[in-house]
Amino acid sequence: MRAYYFDNVPGDQRLPHDSGSSVPLSTLKQLGVHYWNIPVSAGGEYDVKDVDAIAREREYKNRDVINVSKEGLGEAYEGKIKMFFEEHMHEDEEIRYILGGSGFFDVREHPTDKWIRIAMEPGDMIVLPAGIYHRFTLDEKNVIKALRLFKDEPKWTPYNRGESTDTNPIRHDYLHTVGVGA
Protein backbone atom coordinates (compact mmCIF):
# COMPACT_ATOMS: atom_id res chain seq x y z
CA MET A 1 0.00 0.00 0.00
CA ARG A 2 1.20 3.44 -0.85
CA ALA A 3 -0.72 6.62 -0.03
CA TYR A 4 -0.18 10.09 -1.46
CA TYR A 5 -2.09 13.22 -2.40
CA PHE A 6 -3.92 12.99 -5.73
CA ASP A 7 -2.53 15.50 -8.25
CA ASN A 8 -5.94 16.63 -9.62
CA VAL A 9 -4.50 16.72 -13.15
CA PRO A 10 -7.21 15.91 -15.72
CA GLY A 11 -6.79 12.59 -17.48
CA ASP A 12 -7.40 8.88 -17.20
CA GLN A 13 -8.50 8.02 -13.66
CA ARG A 14 -6.52 4.76 -13.90
CA LEU A 15 -3.18 6.59 -14.02
CA PRO A 16 -1.28 7.03 -10.73
CA HIS A 17 -2.00 10.79 -10.43
CA ASP A 18 0.86 11.00 -7.93
CA SER A 19 1.48 14.55 -6.69
CA GLY A 20 4.83 13.44 -5.23
CA SER A 21 3.58 14.19 -1.70
CA SER A 22 3.31 11.02 0.39
CA VAL A 23 0.69 10.53 3.09
CA PRO A 24 1.75 8.60 6.20
CA LEU A 25 -0.34 5.77 7.62
CA SER A 26 -0.92 7.92 10.72
CA THR A 27 -2.91 10.40 8.59
CA LEU A 28 -5.09 7.57 7.28
CA LYS A 29 -5.65 6.37 10.85
CA GLN A 30 -6.77 9.87 11.85
CA LEU A 31 -9.40 9.60 9.08
CA GLY A 32 -10.58 6.26 10.49
CA VAL A 33 -8.98 4.19 7.72
CA HIS A 34 -7.48 0.89 8.93
CA TYR A 35 -4.79 -1.05 7.06
CA TRP A 36 -3.16 -4.48 7.29
CA ASN A 37 -0.85 -6.43 5.02
CA ILE A 38 -1.45 -10.18 4.83
CA PRO A 39 0.82 -11.65 2.14
CA VAL A 40 -0.75 -13.42 -0.84
CA SER A 41 1.24 -16.03 -2.73
CA ALA A 42 1.61 -15.96 -6.51
CA GLY A 43 -1.04 -18.70 -6.56
CA GLY A 44 -3.49 -16.54 -4.59
CA GLU A 45 -3.08 -18.35 -1.27
CA TYR A 46 -3.16 -16.41 2.00
CA ASP A 47 -3.28 -17.08 5.74
CA VAL A 48 -6.98 -17.52 6.43
CA LYS A 49 -6.31 -17.37 10.20
CA ASP A 50 -5.14 -13.76 9.91
CA VAL A 51 -8.23 -12.75 7.91
CA ASP A 52 -10.51 -14.66 10.30
CA ALA A 53 -8.92 -12.91 13.31
CA ILE A 54 -9.62 -9.47 11.81
CA ALA A 55 -13.14 -10.59 10.86
CA ARG A 56 -13.84 -11.69 14.46
CA GLU A 57 -12.35 -8.50 15.92
CA ARG A 58 -14.46 -6.26 13.65
CA GLU A 59 -17.55 -8.54 13.79
CA TYR A 60 -17.64 -9.45 10.10
CA LYS A 61 -19.85 -12.49 9.60
CA ASN A 62 -20.05 -12.81 5.81
CA ARG A 63 -17.65 -12.61 2.90
CA ASP A 64 -17.42 -12.99 -0.84
CA VAL A 65 -14.93 -12.44 -3.65
CA ILE A 66 -15.38 -9.88 -6.41
CA ASN A 67 -13.52 -9.85 -9.72
CA VAL A 68 -13.56 -6.35 -11.16
CA SER A 69 -12.53 -6.78 -14.78
CA LYS A 70 -14.11 -6.80 -18.21
CA GLU A 71 -14.30 -10.59 -18.00
CA GLY A 72 -15.63 -10.64 -14.43
CA LEU A 73 -18.35 -8.00 -14.88
CA GLY A 74 -19.22 -8.51 -18.55
CA GLU A 75 -21.69 -5.98 -19.97
CA ALA A 76 -21.90 -4.16 -16.62
CA TYR A 77 -18.15 -3.33 -16.61
CA GLU A 78 -18.19 0.25 -17.97
CA GLY A 79 -21.16 1.27 -15.84
CA LYS A 80 -19.65 -0.20 -12.67
CA ILE A 81 -16.29 1.49 -13.25
CA LYS A 82 -18.05 4.86 -13.66
CA MET A 83 -20.20 4.24 -10.57
CA PHE A 84 -17.23 3.19 -8.40
CA PHE A 85 -15.39 6.44 -9.28
CA GLU A 86 -18.27 8.75 -8.31
CA GLU A 87 -17.55 10.37 -4.96
CA HIS A 88 -19.78 8.63 -2.43
CA MET A 89 -20.10 7.21 1.07
CA HIS A 90 -21.70 4.10 2.55
CA GLU A 91 -23.61 3.64 5.77
CA ASP A 92 -21.45 0.60 6.60
CA GLU A 93 -17.71 0.04 6.67
CA GLU A 94 -16.15 -0.99 3.38
CA ILE A 95 -13.45 -3.64 3.71
CA ARG A 96 -11.36 -5.02 0.87
CA TYR A 97 -8.53 -7.54 0.94
CA ILE A 98 -6.72 -7.55 -2.40
CA LEU A 99 -6.05 -11.08 -3.68
CA GLY A 100 -4.91 -10.19 -7.21
CA GLY A 101 -4.55 -7.27 -9.56
CA SER A 102 -4.36 -3.70 -8.30
CA GLY A 103 -6.26 -0.46 -8.06
CA PHE A 104 -6.80 2.77 -6.18
CA PHE A 105 -9.05 3.91 -3.35
CA ASP A 106 -9.28 7.68 -3.03
CA VAL A 107 -10.48 9.11 0.29
CA ARG A 108 -11.25 12.70 1.28
CA GLU A 109 -8.96 14.22 3.88
CA HIS A 110 -10.60 16.41 6.49
CA PRO A 111 -10.70 19.27 6.99
CA THR A 112 -8.72 20.05 3.80
CA ASP A 113 -11.08 18.14 1.45
CA LYS A 114 -8.03 16.97 -0.56
CA TRP A 115 -8.07 13.55 -2.20
CA ILE A 116 -5.66 10.98 -0.80
CA ARG A 117 -4.96 8.17 -3.27
CA ILE A 118 -4.25 4.73 -1.80
CA ALA A 119 -2.54 2.35 -4.24
CA MET A 120 -3.56 -1.23 -3.39
CA GLU A 121 -1.87 -4.50 -4.41
CA PRO A 122 -2.19 -8.17 -3.42
CA GLY A 123 -1.90 -8.58 0.35
CA ASP A 124 -3.30 -5.13 1.17
CA MET A 125 -6.40 -5.03 3.37
CA ILE A 126 -8.20 -1.77 4.02
CA VAL A 127 -11.25 -0.69 5.99
CA LEU A 128 -12.95 2.56 5.04
CA PRO A 129 -15.21 3.81 7.82
CA ALA A 130 -18.92 4.36 7.32
CA GLY A 131 -19.52 7.96 6.29
CA ILE A 132 -16.14 8.71 4.65
CA TYR A 133 -16.31 10.14 1.14
CA HIS A 134 -14.34 7.95 -1.21
CA ARG A 135 -14.14 6.47 -4.70
CA PHE A 136 -12.44 3.49 -6.35
CA THR A 137 -10.84 2.82 -9.70
CA LEU A 138 -8.77 0.15 -11.32
CA ASP A 139 -5.28 1.03 -12.46
CA GLU A 140 -3.96 0.47 -15.99
CA LYS A 141 -3.96 -3.32 -15.52
CA ASN A 142 -7.80 -3.17 -15.52
CA VAL A 143 -8.26 -6.03 -13.06
CA ILE A 144 -8.57 -6.53 -9.34
CA LYS A 145 -9.73 -9.51 -7.30
CA ALA A 146 -10.78 -8.71 -3.77
CA LEU A 147 -12.26 -10.44 -0.76
CA ARG A 148 -15.11 -8.38 0.68
CA LEU A 149 -16.19 -8.80 4.29
CA PHE A 150 -19.53 -7.74 5.77
CA LYS A 151 -20.94 -7.37 9.28
CA ASP A 152 -24.30 -8.74 8.15
CA GLU A 153 -25.79 -8.96 4.69
CA PRO A 154 -24.00 -6.79 2.12
CA LYS A 155 -25.39 -3.25 1.98
CA TRP A 156 -23.40 -1.46 -0.67
CA THR A 157 -25.74 1.40 -1.35
CA PRO A 158 -23.57 4.32 -2.48
CA TYR A 159 -24.75 7.76 -1.41
CA ASN A 160 -23.19 10.22 -3.85
CA ARG A 161 -21.84 13.41 -2.34
CA GLY A 162 -24.40 16.18 -2.17
CA GLU A 163 -26.46 18.29 0.17
CA SER A 164 -28.63 15.41 1.40
CA THR A 165 -25.60 13.15 1.92
CA ASP A 166 -23.77 15.89 3.82
CA THR A 167 -26.62 15.84 6.36
CA ASN A 168 -26.88 12.03 6.54
CA PRO A 169 -26.62 10.94 10.23
CA ILE A 170 -23.90 8.39 9.35
CA ARG A 171 -21.84 11.14 7.68
CA HIS A 172 -22.44 13.39 10.67
CA ASP A 173 -21.28 10.62 13.05
CA TYR A 174 -18.17 10.06 10.94
CA LEU A 175 -17.21 13.75 11.05
CA HIS A 176 -17.77 13.81 14.81
CA THR A 177 -15.57 10.71 15.21
CA VAL A 178 -12.65 12.30 13.30
CA GLY A 179 -13.10 15.62 15.10
CA VAL A 180 -14.60 17.65 12.25
CA GLY A 181 -18.06 19.01 12.86
CA ALA A 182 -20.52 18.48 15.65
Which candidate, 122, 158, 125, places its Cα nearest to that of 55? 125
Annotated binding site: 88, 90, 94, 134
Q: Residue ranges for the binding site for Ni(2+)?
A: 88, 90, 94, 134
Q: What is the C-alpha separation between 60 and 147, in angstroms, rounded? A: 12
What are the binding residues for Fe(2+)? 88, 90, 94, 134
Q: What is the DSSP letter of 131?
A: T
Which stretches does DSSP call E strand in the chain?
2-6, 18-22, 34-37, 62-68, 88-89, 94-101, 103-108, 115-120, 124-128, 134-138, 144-150, 159-160
For residue 22, which amino acid is it?
Answer: S
**With b meaning 16 or more CB within 10 Å and e meaning fewer, what string describes 52-89?**
eebbeeeebeeeeeeebbeebeeeebeeebeebbeebb
Rounded Cα distance between 177 and 136, Å, is 23
